[in-house]
Amino acid sequence: MEDGKTIIKINTLSRMNSQFNSPEITVSAYLLIRLKEIGLDHLFGVPGDFVLGFLNQVLKSEIKFIGTCNELNAAYAADGYARIKGIGAFASTYGVGELSAINGVAGAFAERVPVVVITGSPATINFSTHSLLHHTLGDYQIPLNMYEKITVASTQLVSGEIAPAEIDRVLSACLSHQQPVYISIPSDVAMMKCKRPTAFTFPTHPRSDQDALREAIKEAVNMLNKAKTPIVIGDVELLRFKLQKDFADFLDKTGLPYATMMLGKTLLSEQHPQFIGLYEGDRSRDYVRNRVESADCILQLGTLLTDFNTGGFTTKMDDSKTISGNIGYVKIKHHYYENVHLHDFIQGLTEQLTQRDITTLDIQCAGNSCVHRHTEPFLPDASKPLTIKRFFDRMSHFVKNNSIVIAETGVSLFSAAEMLMPKGTTFIGQTFYGSIGYTVGATLGAAMAAKDRQVILFVGDGSFQVTCQDLSTLIRNHLKPIIFLINNDGYTIERVITDHSYNDIQPWHYHKLVDVFGGGLGIDVHTEGELEEALVKSAKADSLVFIEIHTDRMDCPESLRSAGRSMAKTNKLE
Ligand SMILES: Cc1ncc(C[n+]2csc(CCOP(=O)(O)OP(=O)(O)O)c2C)c(N)n1
Ligand SMILES: [Mg+2]
């Protein structure tokens, strides 16, 4: 340890390093070596003249460039990749490219996903002459200024001397905050020489204020020990800050039951015997809602109380019974302990709490009460038109252990959230920021990050129309996700708020797109029997599979209707 930081030597430091035997390498090579060290194997992006120098160096490196059809999808792909691998990145050109990606980066900022934005900008001289080059906006600082709002650190590299320290500073911030960062490399700086990197210093967890930590743990342990029906709610910060193991150890030691919120879905395997299901206020299943709301002590760990997480702010968790541990602070009842970090807090609780008698804790495992139960047999009625309920019932039998399930905002997200995921399955949804079209890019990223895992995407027709081009990138890279497109003739999630003609879209023959884009198996499904046939064919296919599911326009889960009612109210549409 040195200054509270752990030095981790990485032996991959690196083919690129040895490619050039001089004591110096280029700024581009320095950045690429660092990205490789922190776990990046693929870089998404779209070329443009200002970034070509950097991309030429990418081609010589150990990092593979994956071209996408547009920069927004590159950002979504980097986000999906980062959710699996712990880091994601994309490269784009100045102005037109990077600004196309901005919505994808904003989503990563909101949901705490570590994405590195690399933009190739005009040569440094142009920043002082303000020459009216293509893609510029007159003021050369505008893109950087815009990105400053949605990143935790940003830099404009100006020379080979300062580039290494700047790159290290920005990448450290990305990892310690688990949020996006922005690196702008002028085209001349990309090829400037700089020093070789020494081993990267990975940021470690910040140190808690020890007195505050001790006091917070003491108070929390007291409350939990006295409680007869305590409940734990684990959520997104545990995922993002990789505290799953600490959380699992805490559950093993105490035997306490836990729920997750939507953003924290599949935080641990949903087959965990202490997992009771999703808690989302009034949108929860009865048992889960009652179990949480009648608990005499609620321990929230890493929760983010967004509208979708809280069922439209309908959660009822009395502050006077609640302990809440978050990144950087603990709140107990109505007071705060500052500078108490989540990992220290969980570890302290684990040390001091003892095993409870689980027979007294009213633990009904989630499989008994979830909406789409894999515990009940599914018997298809061949001629019956498919409904959303039946489709997701079927899917709860179809998804295999260790899959990655991705669900788009809309009927897909609200339904898939109510499936109990099999062991080892990771669930991805942009449940807070909710930018439609996200999942097509995220599927590309996740499939690239985990080639050995089955990736399943549920996406609505409206969302798919936003970003569908990168279906072709999945095909181009021989990736083989199974995509279920829910064709319900438009924006059902908006129809349940208020239904007018602006929710209609042009109907496409979606399943035929695989042919247009160059390969894969496309199947059209209207009935339960056709779905069974499609699933049999998909099992035999050695390619991407695209199954278009037709359902009624207004067919959706009750949780989505409830969300619609609450959005109508919030937006004064009633
Ligand atoms: C980029 C973006 N534009 C607009 C919206 C508003 N919006 C939310 S959901 C939605 C429609 C989604 O339609 P679809 O994918 O067909 O969902 P489903 O019919 O399954 O509910 C729209 C337009 C958004 N969330 N993101
Ligand atoms: Mg739709």
pLDDT given for residue 140 in this prediction: 92
Mean pLDDT over the full length of the chain: 93
Choosing from 111, 166, 246, 461, the catalytic residue is: 461
Q: Please give the DSSP secondary-structure letter assigned to residue 139.
A: S
Which position among 434, 441, 460, 522 bears the catalytic label?
Answer: 434
Query: In the structure, what pLDDT confidence band is assigned to residue 138 with cuts at 50, 70 and 90?
Result: confident
- Which atom of ligand 1 lies at the shortest distance from residue 496's CA? 21
What is the mean pLDDT of the segment spanning 284-306? 95
> Which pLDDT tens digit goes with each residue over 180-223?
999 999 999 999 999 999 999 998 888 999 999 999 999 999 99
pLDDT of the residue at 163? 98
Pairing assessment for the beta strands 482-487 and 455-460 based on DSSP bridges = parallel
Q: Which of 493, 510, 551 to mutate to test the pocket of ligand 1 (most atoms within 8 A of CB)?
A: 493
Give the C-alpha separation, 494 to 411, whole Å. 10
pLDDT digits (tens, 9 = 90+) for 268-283: 999 999 999 999 999 9
Predicted pLDDT at 377: 86
CA angle centred on 59, ends 141 and 466, rounded to 5°: 60
CA dihedral 343, 347, 350, 352 (to 10 degrees): -130
| Banded model confidence at residue 21, pLDDT cuts 50, 70, 90 | low
Lowest mean pLDDT among 20-24, 203-207, 494-498: 20-24
Residues of the chain with pLDDT > 70: what percent? 96
Pairing of strands 335-338, 329-332: antiparallel
What does each C-alpha distance from 271 to 211, 234, 261, 276, 422 come to in angstroms? 37, 15, 16, 10, 6
Would the CB of 435 count as within 6 Å of ligand 1?
yes
Q: Which of 24, 38, 28 is nearest to 82 (CA)?
A: 38
Residue 492: half-sphere exposure toward Cβ, Cα within 13 Å: 27
For the stretch 338-373, pLDDT in tens is 999 999 999 999 999 999 988 888 888 777 767 887
The confidence score (pLDDT) of residue 364 equals 86
pLDDT of residue 213: 98
pTM given for the model = 0.95
Atom number of ligand 1 nearest to Cα 434: 25
> What's the pLDDT tens digit per position in 414-467?
999 999 999 999 999 999 999 999 999 999 999 999 999 999 999 999 999 999
pLDDT at 247 over 70: yes
